[in-house]
A and B are shown apart, each in its own frame.
Chain A
Amino acid sequence: MTPNRRTFAAGLAAGIAAPALIRSAFAQGGSTKIGMVVPITGPAAPSGAFAITGAKIAQEAVNKAGGVLGKPLEIVTEDDQTTNPGAVLAFSKLASQPDIIAFIGSIRSTQMHAMAPDMLKAAKPVAFGGTDPNLTKLGNPWLFRFRPNDSYSGKVIAAFGAKELGKKKWAIVHSTDAFGTAGGKALTEALPENGGAVVLDQGYANQSQDFTPVVLAIRQSGADIIGSYFTFENDLGIFARQLRQLGVNLPWVGSPSLVNAVALQLAGPTLNGTYGVADYAEEASDAARTFGKLFRAQSKAIPDNQSSWTYDAVTVLAMAINKAGSTDPQKIREAMLSVRGHQGAEGPYNFDKNGDGLHGYNIVKNDKGSIVFDKRIEFTPQLG
């Protein structure tokens, strides 16, 4: 590490010569490549743009620190078009390049399911962000999750709302897609042990233009708190506005989309006072603060989980490959599984035998438009 950093510092001193120098220094062995499947087109394209920014920030940091296996880290992206067939082709295209030694998969669970058979065949580590708990129970040893899975978000929302806020009668609003359904289920299951009960379980289809019936149902249900799993921010924005217009001002605790950057921009003050579970909260730790600073230097947007998970994924993959000391997938896998207490932007990483790295969530509050860290709720993982 040190000699490399010194070389690099010397290069920096040389000013304009630096890029050329790095290129020549790295040139002998080419680069170490990580493949990344990401939505560049289609409905999830907004989240794809953030994912790429997060990965690039980590890539720069890794390369500044000497790269991976002595070579610069390169990230090869392929568009999944936000569709499953698109994702399968994108992944298999990456997988057919033998010099790619690890992958970053999708934040969308259904696309992870679609790619999973090919990922098993590729037999190289895949870092992914889809939060369906089943993904790490497929018996696929190559999957490593870089976000807390939905069973945690349900537990955290239930614990925070029922215990900290003391609200027992829940109205659950969730998208009927894979993410929303699984989330709603996890929350429903976690409520009884926290003393809460579901008075309304309301699914909705993505890209609804109107939520008046949902809001009225909440008003009628006698609920004293809302728990939500929204997939798309524009749905969330419409719901939030109509909620306030129709005079519903119940406490509201929701999945990460409630407190992400796009939602804040779209929904504005209608989200004031809401709580979200966030895999990323800028004030949660020093590592999170560091990432926040780096992200703000790159983008006008507010840093959130859509970029933090790829940042962590690239960082940890680079770390594991360096620790393994080779491109051998099995060795990298073992290095991944042995990660303990790595402080990532999203929290402490401890990979269990299933490949789940994170085991807790931050609770953040939307305080008049700015996201304020409230507390972190951490569960003890069963490390194998």
Chain B
Amino acid sequence: MSTAATTLVPARPKGRLGLAAYAAFAALVVALAVGVPTNGYVLNILMQAATFSIVVFGLTVVLGLCGQINLAQAAFFGFGAYAVGLGTTDWGGPFWLWLAVGMVLATAMGALLGASTLRLGGHYLAMVTISFQQIVTLVLINWLPVTKGPDGVGNIPRPAPFLEAHVYLGLCVAILAVVGYLVWRLPDTKLGRAMRAIRDNELAASVAGIDAYKVKVTAFAISALLGGLGGGLFAGGFAYISPDQFSFAESVIFLTMVLLGGVASPIGAVIGTSLLILIPEWLRFLKSIPGLYLAIYGAAVILIVLFMPDGIYGFVRARLERWRRPVARPGNAAALTLSGGGSAGAGTVLELSALAKHFGGLKAVDGVDLAIRRGGVHALIGPNGSGKTTTLNVISGLSRATGGQVRLDGRDITQLPAHARTQAGLGRTFQNIRLWRSMTALENVMIGAERPGSAVANDAAALEERARAALAFVGLDGRADEPIARFSYGHQRAIEIARALAADPTLLLLDEPGAGLNSTEKVELRDLLRRISARGLTILIIDHDMTLVSEVAEHITVLNFGRRIADGYSADVLKHPDVVAAYLGTAPDAPA
């Protein structure tokens, strides 16, 4: 989602030492917040910065990790604040209870909003969240009996023993530190990796077995949860809340904060939040001309977006990264086990019956029957526009079949979404490589290995071991920790295959794996496919390179105009008169 992120691999604290150091640092900051006497002005700024930062962490998760825009963060902030405000003053009950209620309420609203609209993306999501934000503001203003309307809610108490402002600030900072740590660690968890995969390439994420919709809704709910938490703390901190603090303008400010500081890390969120609170304060000396300092602020936002695409923290990190060289590891990975094979020739792995896919009047796939036996390499060929890639997309679930059936290992998977088919045992690669470009090779392959149901999915060490083994299988284990952008095109192709292999599929679908490779790389690819096949894994390959196809495939199926025109052993099929006619009768294919 951002250019420089491709070269950025955030280092995270590893192990107990890092955690201990962080905890000590956090404790020190909390102690300073509680102990150092400050005046009310500084205290208010710090209180605002601490509570806002928690809210902005929410955007780090939803926008930074998952790549989904949220312009309603102030509304979730408001849910938390109003729950605490109204709960403690009007309805009675302890602060903590209402804080929890606010968080639950915000999370529920976030999940609901996400669930109803996250199938749309980009600008549409932006619009829905803006609309939601506007409606929440209108309700806060107009629902007088409950929200007290524009008067707002005052005299909001703080919980004992945090009554004194400095102590309460310490509480906020402590919560900030804990939430910040969790958000910091999130990218390295299964959920975090799934979010990053969706952000980098949602299609590839689905094909890697990630339920993109569910993960996006989760990200949205987490964002709302943190908004609610920050809001509840804010209400206690400032004792008075009113609707205009939770307006669209505030949502825009939150978004600016996270982008300014750097969307990739909670550190960026804290930097961005603090700066955007401080800049207008620093520029107060310009107040003699109304509007001047906000004009400068607006210009500063543009300049930072122009010159620091990954925010301030991203900018600093990129400078630091230059000093770090990747460490090459010796290739001592374990051997990759592939179980999907079974004994060659036994049974049918994939069966298509009368499969059809129509786009309006265009019959891209028009009643194709196909049976792929276990073991070996099966090729699907045909001229451009013959429906090969569409067939592959229908098999892997990226498009829905108009008619017919797809059976994998005897199981009907026609109605399953893409990620569920991956869980059922499909693996695939793409014609135009779809790797997650902000991650390392290892992380890419780990997500592949992590597919639900796999034996290693819940064991971090085994997971990494399997991912390294898959990389070793394609000969790249020595460069496992390098970001994708540093790999050549051919190597990226190999990583994509390793990612599919790591999931231990029953059937591997390869969409023009030879496209764009030079002759040496093609030889390497051929050898790799032979090695995979030798392990007993069934492969269905699409390619234009007849040399490659005839060298690796035992079976060939030929499509033309969405229909099957030939099927059988390679040597026979290539001599089939219809096939010759189809290839000679159409313009020669330009390899894509």
* B284 vs chain A, min Cβ distance (A): 7
> B256 to nearest A CB, angstroms?
15
* Range class of the A interface residue count: 35 or more
A302 at the interface (CB under 8 A from B): no
- Tell me the complex Cα distance, A138–B150, Å: 17
**Contact present for A110 and B40 (CB under 8 Å):** no
Closest Cβ of chain B: how far from A22's Cβ, in Å? 22
* Cβ-neighbour of B238 out of A77, A88, A138 (below 8 A): A88
CB nearest neighbor in B for A180: B150
Closest to A38 in B: B287
Residue A177 at the chain B interface, CB threshold 8 Å: yes
Cross-interface CB contact of B44 among A40, A89, A134, cutoff 8 Å: A89
Q: Spot the interface stretch: A114-122, A266-274, A348-356, A370-378.
A: A114-122
11 new A-B contacts at CB < 8 Å, known A41-B290, A114-B238:
A96-B40, A109-B151, A110-B150, A110-B151, A113-B151, A113-B152, A122-B40, A176-B141, A181-B151, A205-B141, A205-B142
Instruction: Name the residue of chain A whose CB is nearest to the CB of B277.
Output: A89
Contacts of B138 in A (CB 8 A): 205
Q: Is A85 an interface residue (CB 8 A)?
A: yes
Cβ contact of B39, chosen from A83, A96, A182, cutoff 8 A: A96
Q: Shortest distance in angstroms between B53's beta carbon and chain A's nearest beta carbon? A: 14
Q: B7 to chain A: closest CB distance in Å?
A: 37
Minimum Cβ distance to chain A for residue B243 (Å): 9
| A96 contact set on B, CB distance < 8 A | 39-42
Interface pair A110/B294, CB less than 8 Å apart: no
Give Cα distance in the complex from A83 to B248, angstroms.
Answer: 13
User: B154 within 8 Å of A by Cβ?
Assistant: yes
Interface residues of B in 190-209 (CB under 8 A from A): none
Query: Is the Cβ of B44 less than 8 Å from the Cβ of A118?
Result: yes
CB distance from A91 to the nearest CB of B (A): 8
**A132 and B151 within 8 A (CB):** yes
The chain A residue sitting closest to B38, CB to CB, is A96
Cβ of B144 < 8 Å from any Cβ of A? yes
Residues in A with CB closer than 8 Å to B152 are 84, 110, 113-114, 178
Q: Which B residues are CB-close (under 8 A) to A205?
A: 138, 141-142
CB distance from B500 to the nearest CB of A (A): 51
Return the CB mask of A35-52 against B: 1 if under 8 Å, else 0. 000001100010011000
- A157-189 near B? 1/0 per residue, CB < 8 Å: 000000000000000000011100110000000
Q: Does B242 make an interface contact (CB < 8 A)?
A: yes
Query: In the bound complex, what is the Cα–Cα distance between A205 and B144 (angstroms)?
Result: 14
CB pair B48–A89 under 8 Å, yes or no, is: yes
Determine if B280 is an interface residue (Cβ-Cβ < 8 Å): yes
Distance A121 CA – B43 CA, assembled complex (angstroms)? 13
**Cβ proximity bits B400-414 to A, threshold 8 Å, 1 near / 0 not:** 000000000000000
B132 at the interface (CB under 8 A from A): no
Within residues 565 to 581 of chain B, which ones have a CB less than 8 A from any CB in chain A?
none
13 residue pairs bridging A and B, Cβ less than 8 Å apart: A40-B290, A48-B290, A83-B244, A85-B48, A113-B151, A117-B154, A122-B40, A138-B155, A176-B149, A178-B149, A178-B152, A203-B142, A205-B141
Task: Tell me, yes or no, whether B291 is within 8 Å of chain A by CB.
Answer: yes
Q: How far, in angstroms, from A116 to B241 measured CA to CA in the complex?
A: 12
User: What is the bound-complex CA distance between A177 and B238, given in angstroms?
Assistant: 21
Q: Are A89 and B290 in contact (CB under 8 A)?
A: no
CB distance from B73 to the nearest CB of A (A): 15
A80-107 contacts to B (CB < 8 Å): 81, 83-85, 88-89, 92-93, 95-96
| A83 and B144 alpha carbons, distance in the complex (Å) | 21
Question: A residues near B, CB below 8 A?
Answer: 40-41, 45, 48-49, 77-79, 81, 83-85, 88-89, 92-93, 95-96, 109-110, 113-114, 116-118, 121-122, 132, 134, 138, 176-178, 181-182, 203, 205
Instruction: Please give the distance in Å from B287's CB to the nearest CB on chain A.
Output: 5
Q: List A contacts of B293 (CB < 8 A).
A: 41
Q: For residue A83, which residues in chain B have a CB less than 8 angstroms away from its CB?
A: 244-245
Residues on A with beta carbons closer than 8 Å to the beta carbon of B281? 89, 93
Most buried by B among A41, A49, A109: A41
Given the complex of chains A and B, what is the CA–CA distance between A54 and B354 in angstroms?
Answer: 85
Closest to A132 in B: B151
B155 surroundings in chain A (CB, below 8 A): 117, 138
Q: Once bound together, how far apart are the Cα atoms of A21 and B34, in whole Å?
A: 48
Q: Which residues of A contact B45 (CB under 8 A)?
A: 89
Q: Is B240 an interface residue (CB 8 A)?
A: yes
When distances are taken between beta carbons in the complex, the residues of chain A under 8 Å from B48 are 85, 89
Minimal Cβ-Cβ distance residue in B for A111: B242
Chain A residues in 8 Å Cβ range of B242: 84, 110, 113-114, 178
> Per a CB cutoff under 8 Å, which of A40, A49, A113 touches B240?
A113
Least distance between A214 CB and chain B CB atoms (Å): 15
Residue of B nearest to A203 (CB): B142
B164-178 contact mask (Cβ, 8 Å, vs A): 1 or 0 = 000000000000000
In the assembled complex, the Cα of A118 lies from the Cα of B44 at a distance in Å of 9
Tell me, in angstroms, the Cα distance from A134 to B150 when the chains sit together: 14
Residue from B39, B141, B154, B290 within 8 A of A177 (CB atoms): B141
Please determine whether B287 and A40 come into contact, CB atoms closer than 8 angstroms: yes
How far apart are the CA atoms of A48 and B138 in the complex, in Å?
26
